[in-house]
Amino acid sequence: MKFGVVIFPGSNCDQDCYYAIQSVIGKPVEFIWHQETSLKGFDAVILPGGFSYGDYLRTGALAKFSPVMQSVKEFADRGGMVIGICNGFQILTESGLLPGALMRNVSRKYLCKFLEISAETTDSPFTNQLRKGQVLSIPIGHGDGNYFADPATLKRLRDEDRIAFRYHGENPNGSLENIAGILNEGRNVLGMMPHPDRSSEQILGSTDGKQIFESMVNALAGAGR
């Protein structure tokens, strides 16, 4: 079982993700530079938070042209597990791996704080260790987390049980239907704005995020990885 953490120019949560997998979860993990063109040997790929390409043009828009993204697409098409956290989620929507877009927060403010999200489905490799409706304490840190999709896309996400997380109580950014995280059609790609990497140890204020990584480990172990 091997995790990979992609580093784009401007990523800044790559170390957090690496640390969470290596030291908290205790599984093998390697960094993947964005110029890489092969993901051979990896079982799960993390696109970390940060400000890839300085958020120039639109958040996540230029990272889709990094060579590694073609490999990430092929990896995901073959059923490989991909999680995009924060800027990683923005990159996944810009790359077309997930539907919709992440717009400027309605408040126009950059928000960095703990809040609550609820697990909306347990039917995914990222949420199998959670209970449906379970409330997680987890931090956000973003200026563009306002999820937008047209009504047909939202209906499809609902009908196919692809809304992974919703904000519980307060909606911090204006996201439609309080969406905090969504799955792709194959359920092997998750994008979420909150940071499980910053909530995997009690010293950081919560261990709830760890259950998302544990779900991934559980799914990989079940697949014989």
Neighbours of 82 (CB within 10 A): 25
Q: Is 61 in the site for other proteins (CB under 8 A)?
A: yes
Pair of tokens at residue 98? 């997930």
Q: Is 67 in the site for other proteins (CB under 8 A)?
A: no
* Pairing between β-strand 135-142 and β-strand 146-148 as defined by DSSP bridges: unpaired
Which of 57, 112, 221, 223 binds other proteins (CB under 8 A)? It is 57
Q: Which stretch binds other proteins (CB under 8 A): 55-63, 123-131, 161-169, 194-202?
A: 55-63
Which of 106, 112, 221, 223 binds other proteins (CB under 8 A)? It is 106
Residue spans of alpha helices (H) in 1-59:
14-19
Site for other proteins in 136-195 (CB under 8 A): 148-150, 174
Round to whole Å and give the CA distance between 3 and 173.
30
Which of 30, 38, 107, 112 binds other proteins (CB under 8 A)? It is 107
Give min distance, CB of 220 to other proteins, in A: 31
Give min distance, CB of 69 to other proteins, in A: 14
For the sheet with 189-192, list strands across it. Answer: 29-33, 3-7, 44-47, 81-85, 189-192, 179-183, 163-167, 111-119, 135-142
Angle at CA of residue 29, ends 224 and 111, nearest 5°: 115
Specify the 3-state DSSP secondary structure of 23. Answer: helix
Q: Is 197 in the site for other proteins (CB under 8 A)?
A: no
Give min distance, CB of 150 to other proteins, in A: 8
Q: Is 105 in the site for other proteins (CB under 8 A)?
A: yes
Give min distance, CB of 91 to other proteins, in A: 12
Pair of tokens at residue 23? 């030291």
Q: Is 58 in the site for other proteins (CB under 8 A)?
A: yes
Across-strand partners of 103? Answer: 146
x-marked contacts with other proteins along 198-217 as a string, rule CB under 8 A: --------------------
| 5, 68 contact by CB (below 8 A) | no
Pick 59 or 127: Cβ nearer other proteins: 59
Round to whole Å and give the CA distance between 125 and 216.
5
Across-strand partners of 47? Answer: 84
Q: Is 124 in the site for other proteins (CB under 8 A)?
A: no
Which of 14, 94, 120, 208 binds other proteins (CB under 8 A)? It is 94
* Site residues for other proteins per CB under 8 A: 57-58, 61, 93-94, 99-101, 103-108, 148-150, 174
